[in-house]
């Protein structure tokens, strides 16, 4: 078969097949997204289980890579595996992804090491798990687009995408519950589902799309993978303290990674304009709906991707302790208190997807982005010790806005491209979204750390000294990088107790001061004001990005294009 030859698909397999495809791909999206967040809420139990103190000097990197590594790998590889789906069959690559994901889950649950070795084992197999997740994510939307007619595509893609979004937040509750039993259970939970769904997919899914055999764009793949990896690794390492600085943005290695990654991505774009069969179909950006939808999706994820982390830190590090919750209980309760966000996704996504099939994508996607932006304005105006009912309404509105936006936006993007390029288009869509999420986490963390770095050291030092902690110890703790305090909140530990106990300082203070220092309110009261200043900056930036996303969504045009002609796209 010659390179570039199009292989016509078999006819659609009917209504029953559509529901099989929807059920299987929805399970895949949910499971892949669940694993992006279930580990986040399970980190305290995981690190206790492998006997590693993540806050000890030199161990912060393990914590960062447990959080960021999974998303980084998915962002880098979704385009490549989507393109492979176009060439060799979307179902074939998708099925292989299910198998890879399941095998990685099994290996993760049998970590034989402790300490740094145990962390390396988990990070390494999480990389393989993320690759399997990328194979699922890149091809699930293309499989559904092949299976469903244009007038029902919005509903199908809406259910599929909202399952992914919901998985991110349901993972927070699931992780908290499972770790009450055993930390390995957060990986065990995937195994029976993965085995069943893999067999189900191999037995029932069929190649109903158009395949286009071609050559692999090796130079494009290498420059894209290495360039985007370097850029995202640089952003991840930039959060890490360097020398005497709170963050690593002045680290020569980080600067080299950022500059080198950007240069390689520029080289990638040049390569893609010159090869006969590019990996990244730049010509698709000549389709107005495709270009506008991807820009709006990227901006939305850039605005919202780091929200999960900020809300967890806000709840676990400040609000829950102020309301009497023990630190070791805060991971589970943070997931429970964020359920309105998940409910907003679950309600708005399928409904807006189904309605957009009849009324068009633009109005729903644009309105959703505006609702999403307005929710950030409301969060920005909340006091740090908020009434929960108001917080619940605002995060529910945020979920509703993202649900209203995501389903119609995905349907618009996938319906606008030629059938033979849906795998690549789905991969490109996922790349923009995952890259936006990774960048958002880096930006959110950086803004929060910058806000804390200005006032927290003095506030912490003076607060400790006022309660009898010896001056040298108070100064030493006050000078620690603020990122340690943020990660302590994520890990569900009392940072003051964790920092003071190894020094022996608690033995030299009065019983009353000891109770105050290790109680629920001392650290939250100290950190509340500088943290709130950071929140205002972060939420304000997200509101602006949401408005820009709405403008980009509006630019897609009045009517959705159900199927683009192949001659619309030129490399």
Residue 569 lies in a domain: no
Q: What confidence tier does 565 reach under pLDDT thresholds 50, 70, 90? A: very low
Q: Are residues 408 and 495 in the same domain?
A: no
> Which residue range forms the structural domain that includes residue 482?
452-529
Residues 169, 245 within the same domain: no
Structural domain count, the chain = 3
> Are both 237 and 286 inside the same structural domain?
no
How far is it, in rounded angstroms, from Cα 507 to Cα 346?
Answer: 51
CA distances from 121 to 73, 127, 179, 274 (A): 16, 10, 19, 40
The CA radius of gyration of the chain, in Å to the nearest whole number, is: 24
Between residues 320 and 498, the one the model is more confident about:
320
CATH number of the domain within which 311 lies: 1.20.1250.20
> Could you report the per-residue pLDDT of 180-191, keeping only the tens digit for each?
788 888 888 888
Q: Which residues contact 464 (CB under 8 A, 6 or more apart)?
A: 473, 474, 477, 478, 496, 500, 517
Question: Is residue 141 in a domain?
Answer: yes
Task: Let me know if residue 567 belongs to a domain.
Answer: no
Residues 341 and 481 in one domain: no
Give the number of residues written for the chain: 571
**Which of the listed residues 274, 303, 320 is the one where a domain comes to its end?**
274
Q: 369 is written with which tokens?
A: 């982005």
CB 290 within 8 A of CB 467: no
Q: Render pLDDT for 166-223 as a digit per residue (tens, 0 to 9).
A: 777 677 777 777 877 888 888 888 888 888 888 988 888 887 766 666 677 788 888 8
Answer yes or no: is 312 within a domain. yes
Classify residue 12: in a domain, yes or no.
yes
Locate 280 and state its tokens: 């990244």
pLDDT for position 55: 67
**Residue 295 shares a structural domain with residue 203:** yes
Interval 250-299: pLDDT, tens: 889 999 999 999 999 899 889 888 887 777 777 888 888 889 999 999 99
Residue at a domain's end among 274, 291, 317 = 274
* Together in a domain, 323 and 457: no
Tokens standing for residue 413? 């993007």
CB 5 within 8 A of CB 212: yes
* Residue 180 and residue 115 share a domain: yes
- Asked if residue 183 and residue 38 are part of one domain, the reply reads yes
pLDDT band at 12 (very low <50, low <70, confident <90, very high): very low
With contact defined as beta carbons under 8 Å apart, do 234 and 258 qualify?
Answer: yes
Out of 15-19, 119-123, 382-386, least confident range: 15-19
Q: Do residue 257 and residue 318 come from a single domain?
A: no
Average pLDDT over residues 100-109: 90
Domain end, chosen from 228, 247, 274, is at: 274
Asked whether residue 571 is assigned to any structural domain, the reply reads no
Same domain, 74 and 204: yes
Q: What percentage of the chain reaches a pLDDT higher than 90?
A: 15
| Residue 72, domain member (yes or no) | yes
The distance in angstroms from the start CA to the end CA of the chain is 22
Q: Are 405 and 291 within one domain?
A: yes
Does residue 566 fall inside a structural domain? no
Which residue from 281, 297, 228, 223 is spatially nearest to 74, judged by alpha carbons?
A: 228
Question: Contact at 8 Å (CB) between 482 and 452?
Answer: yes
Residue 260 contacts by C-beta under 8 Å, 6 or more apart in sequence? 227, 230
Question: What is the pLDDT, as a whole number, of residue 7?
Answer: 42
Distance CA 564, CA 281 (A): 14
pLDDT value of residue 569 = 41
Q: Is there a single domain that holds both residue 100 and residue 141?
A: yes
């Amino acid at each position: 078969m010659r390179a570039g030859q199009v292989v016509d698909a078999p006819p659609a397999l009917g209504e029953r097949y559509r529901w099989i495809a929807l059920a299987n791909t929805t399970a895949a999206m949910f499971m892949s997204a669940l694993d992006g967040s279930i580990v986040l809420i399970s980190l305290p139990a995981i690190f206790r289980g492998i006997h590693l103190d993540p806050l000890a000097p030199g161990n912060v990197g393990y914590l960062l890579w447990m959080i960021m590594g999974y998303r980084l790998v998915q962002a880098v590889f979704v385009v490549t595996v989507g393109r492979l789906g176009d060439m060799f069959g979307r179902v074939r690559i998708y099925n292989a992804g299910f198998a890879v994901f399941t095998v990685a889950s099994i290996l993760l649950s049998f970590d034989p090491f402790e300490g740094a070795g145990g962390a390396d084992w988990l990070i390494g197999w999480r990389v393989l798990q993320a690759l399997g997740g990328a194979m699922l994510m890149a091809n699930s939307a293309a499989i559904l687009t092949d299976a469903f007619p244009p007038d029902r595509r919005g509903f199908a893609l809406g259910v599929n995408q909202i399952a992914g979004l919901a998985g991110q937040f349901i993972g927070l509750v699931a992780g908290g519950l499972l770790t009450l039993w055993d930390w390995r259970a957060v990986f065990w939970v995937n195994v029976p589902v993965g085995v069943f769904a893999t067999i189900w997919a191999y037995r029932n899914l069929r190649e109903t799309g158009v395949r286009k055999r071609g050559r692999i764009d090796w130079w494009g793949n290498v420059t894209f993978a290495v360039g985007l990896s370097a850029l995202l690794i640089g952003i991840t390492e930039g959060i890490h303290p360097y020398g005497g600085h709170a963050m690593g943005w002045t680290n020569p290695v980080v600067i080299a990674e950022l500059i080198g990654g950007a240069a390689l991505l520029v080289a990638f774009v040049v390569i893609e304009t010159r090869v006969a069969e590019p990996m990244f179909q730049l010509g698709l950006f000549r389709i107005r709906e495709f270009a506008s939808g991807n820009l709006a999706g990227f901006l939305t994820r850039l605005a919202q991707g780091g929200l999960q982390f900020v809300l967890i830190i806000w709840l676990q590090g400040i609000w829950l302790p102020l309301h009497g919750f023990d630190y070791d209980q805060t991971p589970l309760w943070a997931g429970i208190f964020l359920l309105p966000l998940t409910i907003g996704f679950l309600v708005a996504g399928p409904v807006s997807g189904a309605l957009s099939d009849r009324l068009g994508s633009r109005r729903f996607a644009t309105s959703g982005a505006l609702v999403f932006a307005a929710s950030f304005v409301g969060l920005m105006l909340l006091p740090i010790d908020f009434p929960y009912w108001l917080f619940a309404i605002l995060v529910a509105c945020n979920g509703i806005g993202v649900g209203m936006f995501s389903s119609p936006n995905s349907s618009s993007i996938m319906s606008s491209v030629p059938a033979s390029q849906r795998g690549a288009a789905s991969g490109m869509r996922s790349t923009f979204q995952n890259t936006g999420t990774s960048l958002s986490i880096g930006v959110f963390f950086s803004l929060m750390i910058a806000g804390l770095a200005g006032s927290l050291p003095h506030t912490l030092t003076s607060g400790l000294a006022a309660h009898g902690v010896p001056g040298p110890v108070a100064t030493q703790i006050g000078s620690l990088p603020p990122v340690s305090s943020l990660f302590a909140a994520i890990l569900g530990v009392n940072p003051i107790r964790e920092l003071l106990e190894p020094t022996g300082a608690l033995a030299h203070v009065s019983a009353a001061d000891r109770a105050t220092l290790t109680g629920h309110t001392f650290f939250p009261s100290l950190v509340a004001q500088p943290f709130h200043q950071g929140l205002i900056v972060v939420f304000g930036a997200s509101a602006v990005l949401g408005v820009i996303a709405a403008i980009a969504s509006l630019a897609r045009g009045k009517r959705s294009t159900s199927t683009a002609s192949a001659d619309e796209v030129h490399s």
